[in-house]
Amino acid sequence: MGTTGYELKRISSNNIVSPKGFKAAGIHCGIKHKKKDLALLVSEVPASVAGVFTTNAVQAAPLKVTKEVVYNTKKMQAIFVNSGNANACTGKQGIADAYEMQQLAATKLGIDPSLVGIASTGVIGELMKMDPVRKGIEIIEIGQSLENAIDFSQAIMTTDTVMKNTAYSTVIDGKEVQIAGTAKGSGMIEPNMATMLGFITTDAKIESEELQKALSEITNKTFNAITVDGDTSTNDTVLVMANGLAGNEPLSPLHPDWENFYNALKAVCEDLAKSIARDGEGATKLIEVEVEGAISDEEAIKIAKTVVGSPLVKTAVFGCDANWGRIIAAVGYSGATVDPEKITIKIGNALMVEHGEPVPFSEEELIQILKANEVKIYVSLEQGIGHGFAWGCDLTYDYVQINASYRS
């Protein structure tokens, strides 16, 4: 008998190496001036792997290398990451450098290069500083401590202001299974994917094909439902490694505990996605938009993402301006099927529009709602049963300042 419906438990340490058989490290090697910039995540054994990548037609060299591992080898044992340089738009030399990074990590660990994924984040259009990378891989030492996990999370950051970590445990076949994740992302965030890197580890046993299906489906409801500034990057990658060391029977949708695994993976992805939206460059508030009554879940997410991505909505939230006209305008131009006479809008618990008609509200009450660190916008359409969320952040003066001087 399965344990479907088992309540998820959040792991307080939020440790990327808490699942059995994973080690990590992060160091400063010299790609960046001072901060950590080189990271390594390793499984004791080759793991099943799934990946989702940017839809930008311009894709960085590391994606070519990592896609070969995900789609051809279908197993991964290590992920070698650098920050400070995206290795994007760097031509043949960039490809050569990415393959060299793969080989350097493989030699360090004594494994086949085809089991090593590569990820890079940072400035576009500059050749990788390979000497620091070569020296860094020689001295980096992986481990299973919380400090090792923190070092890894710090080493993948660029303009992030905080680390983004989460972890959950569940029960499968009577055995504890853990899923943990860490991510980076702050600006150039418009997933499908975004300027973000996400790495997820689990000791669950699952074949790569089933893991890929689950990740792709969950990504559409989590990572692809966030937006900071509408820019889709060249390097965006989310990878999941599942090494099977928990000892459960192989997972698939037919397994009685499939729901436990799926919900845990979704919880990790949603936590990381919301953390990225919350940490948008210069952001002061997380904005959540919930849409119900759309003709499909896909249309609900489309509308929610249009609202949360609207510069006018984002600036209104920043300025604590209860301008619901900007919200209903975004719903209207989203391209989804809507009936203006059936639209209902709430900000927080305050009803603003009901069936397309304005409702009197207290400006003072709305100002207090909009001053909160998290602002929720609710839209009801009465078109169907579609339901979805999207997350973003306010648009501030600091966003302009940060991105006007990014290279300097």
What is the rounded CA–CA span in Å between residue 121 and residue 164?
Answer: 15
Put residue 91 in one of left, alpha, beta given phi > 0 → left and psi -120 to 50 → alpha.
Answer: left
Q: What are the φ/ψ torsions at residue 328 (nearest 5 degrees)?
A: -65, -30
CB-count exposure of residue 329 (10 Å: 0-12, 13-18, 19+): middle
Residue 65 and residue 24 in contact, taking contact as beta carbons nearer than 8 Å:
no
Which of 54, 182, 195, 232 is flagged as catalytic?
Answer: 195
Interacting residues of 383 by C-beta distance below 8 A, sequence separation 6+: 293, 294, 295, 337, 338, 339, 342
Vertex 183: Cα angle to 241 and 63 (nearest 5): 65
What is the rounded CA–CA span in Å between residue 30 and residue 49?
Answer: 30
Q: What are the φ/ψ torsions at residue 230 (nearest 5 degrees)?
A: 85, 0
What is the rounded CA–CA span in Å between residue 195 and residue 187?
Answer: 7
Catalytic annotation present for 195: yes
Interacting residues of 111 by C-beta distance below 8 A, sequence separation 6+: 46, 77, 78
Q: Would you name the residues annotated as active-site residues?
A: 195
